[in-house]
Structure 1
Amino acid sequence: MVPLQSFNPYLAIILLLFHLLHFSSIEAQNDGFTVKLIRKSSHLSSNNIQDIVQAPINAYIGQYLMELYIGTPPIKISGTVDTGSDLIWVQCVPCLGCYNQINPMFDPLKSSTYTNISCDSPLCYKPYIGECSPEKRCDYTYGYADSSLTKGVLAQETVTLTSNTGKPISLQGILFGCGHNNTGNFNDHEMGLIGLGGGPTSLVSQIGPLFGGKKFSQCLVPFLTDITISSQMSFGKGSEVLGEGVVTTPLVQREQDMTSYYVTLLGISVEDTYLPMNSTIEKGNMLVDSGTPPNILPQQLYDRVYVEVKNKVPLEPITDDPSLGPQLCYRTQTNLKGPTLTYHFEGANLLLTPIQTFIPPTPETKGVFCLAITNCANSDPGIYGNFAQTNYLIGFDLDRQIVSFKPTDCTKQ
């Protein structure tokens, strides 16, 4: 997730509706799999799992929602896909201070497989925990830099995903947050959040060892794609991004941060005009974050990109709408004929077309497109957000410490 205080304030208006932010036994059950999680074991086996583990994901108001099932009987949850955080959590009843959601909240009392974590348990993840509650429950608090917050109880539950052949894959004992007090910039389709960072509590870290490694891939459909059109999130073996057109850039570890996926941006080309980063290029200067809509660049690079894009768009920018502020926006009744941008990462050049770089200021706005890049004077690192990630099959391999990209029509993936 991106901190809202790092946005240009006018972009915050434009993007008002967006928020930022071990296994040891397998047994067959019907035509799917039940996986018992035993985290103390260091000897993993995935020989019995042949299918690719998947979950559908779709777009809604600048965020991407992944479907999975939780509990017994299983209840469908749509959670925001967030590569910038680790905790998996859902809104749970009773919810004393929660944001509005259109679907019923998860009720732990109605699930036969729900188990609270005791604050004395080694699964009570200390970075999220304050003082032990009188009931000895592992109460957690997990905050985001945009002031969004979830509070509740750490628990274990059965989570069901689907294989690429349509078989249900049920995973017992997944650690998650049952949120009883959740506030912030969440829309009414978000029933929680699926942390996909590199830390130990994320979904990929919890299930990866069973399915052939800590790796996953995603394909995000373009902004404003109908919510009924889904693409796929894939986990473990079989999720690798391969074939013609694939480019790869290394992940960079920064300051003992296990969660974030940092990569190194060398510069940006607007058409054939190359704009390098400043002379002192630091490794790991961009964060690949599916929970942040726009790209965020350091001021010195943003200013040059702004000027070059403006010079290459054959339209006059909007200057008579105060609500848009200084953002670079244009009126057109057809798709904007803007320049292509190439992000030059270490070892990987990513070409972005106007569908990835010019976005309506709100989903309801017709005939206006704004540059989906903003600035931050002290943006370290910058953000490579979900607008720019669309129509690329992106593979995160935590074991090899690389990110791979392949141009793809994600509406057909």
Structure 2
Amino acid sequence: MVTSFSFYAIFIFFFLTFLPSINTAAANSKHPLFAFDLIHRDSPLSPLYNSDSTFWDKAERLYESSIARNAYIASKRRLGKSHDVNVDNFFFFLAKFSFGSPWVDVFAVIDSGSDLLWIQCNPCENRQPQTGLIYDPTKSKTYTNISCGSLNCMSDHHTYCDTNNVCGYRNYYVDGSYSYGFLGIDSVLFTNPDGSTVASYVTFGCGINNKFSSQGHLAGVLGLSATNLSLVSQLQGDGPQQFSYCLGNASDPSSKGNVIIGPYAETSGQTTLFTFDNLYHVNPIEIKVGSKSLNLSPKVFGPPGNVILDSGTIYTFLPPKVYRKLAHAIRKSIRSFKVHSIPHPRPGMLCYKGNIGRDLNGFPTVTIRFQGNAELVLERWSIFINDGKERFCLAFASTGGSIRRSIIGTMAQQFYNFGFHIDTQELSIIRSVCSIIPNPTM
């Protein structure tokens, strides 16, 4: 996964279980439901679909990109406001939605740390090969520019004013990718589970000079960071400000997820508090392998808020002391299974010859418990990451330094719904099948 930094805040947000599960529900007619599906990047419905290769064929680069993202997030204290969107295919799910008038279907990467929704637009400088339609603001009957004097333009110091008094933005990425464009307003169409649709006007970034490593297959980035310019804030009604996202099974291309924005987002489950500074910070207090606690010291994760819940990092990064304890417990537990340890290019990483589904049936869970009563109970598909070649590795890594921020990555977030109460800064976590069903009151 590729990390990024910018002059505009944008950040890029995705079972096999016997635990109780829930279905996320639609809103009633008084409060429109702003929801959209997340499609697996290897699904035949995805513009990135390639029958000859899969997400797991890039396992080595998944690890390298996660290392790079972890290092970049650790540097954010020095760099200030920035974003870390992944544009190099190292993500699980894509958001699909319709934009403009007439409607154009677009696919975008989601990220729980970025705010602005931006999409690729015509006229497009530095054009790359395209596999689908591109949004053209000159052909949309509902599009309007945002002037430099508007509150939306002035809400972020990384925007700029062009010679035509149009508010612009610039995003730069560590891998050399970038997006330049301007802010505008147009309509986004959401389809409810009962088949009805609801549209809403939103402020977004219209990218006219873009360089992706995804070669034009994706239309842009949809951020879920709750700043003024994000859809999370723009689509709130008169009820409590909240949203949820649910990530399906990364190992199953047919699996889906969803994002729901508004007062009726799914926010049931066990709760913990979070803090927000364009990233969502949580406070883990215990990790168990099976029933045995790692007996962590209270300050082992650093100061409060030093752990980030991030949809843009594949691996979960832990402080060195925590990682060593976890790795030791995993080594002990795996001895009773018919797999063999094999070297990994990175010192300290645990890799084995074998198959997660065939060889690890009954492997003990890893439980991450947070302040409050929320927890993530991870089974084998979330503990290990498969590379598709009879080899799998532990989906955890060391931050490489005691002062770095830890990250709860997307492998650990599979099969769970995360509900964010923005007003109270409360996060609910519940095991979920990640489907949206109509509310009987509708």
Shorter-normalised TM range = 0.7 to 0.9
Shift of 1:163: 2.4
Instruction: Describe the superposition over 1:253-284 as per-residue Cα deviations: whole angstroms up to 9, x where unpaired.
Output: 4xxx2x22111011321223322554425221
1:310 aligns with 2:336: no
Report the equivalent of 2:223: 195
Shift of 1:287: 1.2
Percent pairwise identity: 31
- 1:330 equivalent among 337, 340, 352: 352
Corresponding letter in the other structure for 2:381: I
Report the equivalent of 2:82: none
Shift of 1:192: 0.9
2:381 is paired with a residue whose SS is helix
**How far apart are the structure 1 equivalents of 2:102 and 2:436?**
32
TM-score (norm 2): 0.74
1:340 aligns with 2:365: yes
Report the equivalent of 1:238: 264
- 1:204 equivalent among 215, 232, 235: 232
Report the equivalent of 1:263: 282
TM-score (norm 1): 0.78
Report the equivalent of 1:9: none
Shift of 1:3: 4.0
**How far apart are the structure 1 equivalents of 2:158 and 2:116?**
13
Q: Are the structure 2 counterparts of residues 186 and 345 from structure 1 closer, same or farther at C-alpha, using a change threshold of 3 Å?
A: farther
**How far apart are the structure 1 equivalents of 2:283 and 2:189?**
35
Report the equivalent of 2:95: 66
**How far apart are the structure 2 equivalents of 1:311 and 1:99?**
50
**How far apart are the structure 2 equivalents of 1:277 and 1:203?**
38
Corresponding letter in the other structure for 2:102: P
56-65 vs 384-393, which deviates more?
56-65
* 8 Å Cα contact 1:89/1:176 also seen in 2: yes
Q: Are the structure 2 counterparts of residues 101 and 276 from structure 1 closer, same or farther at C-alpha, using a change threshold of 3 Å?
A: farther
Shift of 1:145: 6.3
Corresponding letter in the other structure for 2:125: L
Report the equivalent of 1:28: none
Shift of 1:176: 0.5
Report the equivalent of 2:395: 372
Corresponding letter in the other structure for 1:230: K
1:179 aligns with 2:202: no
Instruction: Describe the superposition over 1:113-141 as per-residue Cα deviations: whole angstroms up to 9, x where unpaired.
Output: 11121223222145354542222221101
Corresponding letter in the other structure for 1:394: F
**How far apart are the structure 2 equivalents of 1:129 and 1:252?**
23
Which runs of structure 2 are paired with 1:132-151 in the superposition (5 Å)? 132-143=161-172, 148-151=177-180
Report the equivalent of 2:242: 215
- 2:418 equivalent among 389, 394, 400: 394
Shift of 1:248: 0.7
Report the equivalent of 1:29: none
Q: Are the structure 2 counterparts of residues 239 and 294 from structure 1 closer, same or farther at C-alpha, using a change threshold of 3 Å?
A: same
1:223 is paired with a residue whose SS is coil
2:288 is paired with a residue whose SS is strand
Report the equivalent of 1:42: none
Corresponding letter in the other structure for 1:304: K
**How far apart are the structure 1 equivalents of 2:175 and 2:226?**
20
- 2:191 equivalent among 159, 162, 165: 162
Shift of 1:152: 0.8
- 1:288 equivalent among 309, 320, 329: 309
Shift of 1:409: 2.8
Report the equivalent of 1:31: none
Q: Are the structure 2 counterparts of residues 308 and 149 from structure 1 closer, same or farther at C-alpha, using a change threshold of 3 Å?
A: farther
**How far apart are the structure 2 equivalents of 1:47 and 1:196?**
23
* 8 Å Cα contact 2:109/2:221 also seen in 1: yes
Q: How many residues align?
A: 361
- 2:275 equivalent among 245, 252, 265: 252
Which runs of structure 2 are paired with 1:17-166 in the superposition (5 Å)? 49-60=30-41, 61=55, 62-97=91-126, 101-127=130-156, 129=158, 131-143=160-172, 148-166=177-195
* 8 Å Cα contact 2:117/2:230 also seen in 1: yes
1:305 is paired with a residue whose SS is helix
* 8 Å Cα contact 1:219/1:231 also seen in 2: yes
Q: Are the structure 2 counterparts of residues 75 and 130 from structure 1 closer, same or farther at C-alpha, using a change threshold of 3 Å?
A: closer
Structure 1's unaligned 5+ residue stretches are 6-18, 22-45
Shift of 1:391: 0.6
Corresponding letter in the other structure for 1:167: S
Structure 2's unaligned 5+ residue stretches are 6-10, 14-26, 42-54, 56-90, 438-442
Instruction: Describe the superposition over 1:276-318 as per-residue Cα deviations: whole angstroms up to 9, x where unpaired.
Output: 5544252212111112222122222122212221221133221
Shift of 1:178: 0.7
Report the equivalent of 2:294: 275
